[in-house]
Amino acid sequence: MKKLCETVGFLLFVQGAAGLLHEWFDWFRFFGLVHRVPFVRDYPLFAGIVLVVTGIAVMIASDAVRE
């Protein structure tokens, strides 16, 4: 369960970082998930920040999970 939480947190972090890099520098055009979700498409910067923070929080919280 701990590895699953770490993996999910890492994926959230990577998706958020890719969304931010796409928004700021126009990189990772095909990699980001933020531009493909219809209700988040209008707020890509906010969604990227939320995904990065959520990913970090999930990775930190995975330390509390016992194996």
Instruction: Find all residues with CB under 8 Å of 34, minimum gap 6, and list them.
Output: 15, 16, 18, 19, 22, 40, 41, 44, 47, 48, 51
Task: Give CA–CA dist 19/55, Å, rounded.
Answer: 13
Q: What is the mean pLDDT of the chain?
A: 87
In the chain, where the domains are located: 2-64
Structure tokens at 21: 């890099």
19-43 pLDDT, tens digit per residue, is 888 888 887 677 777 778 888 888 8
Q: How many CA atoms lie within 13 A of 50 on its CB side?
A: 8
pTM: 0.85
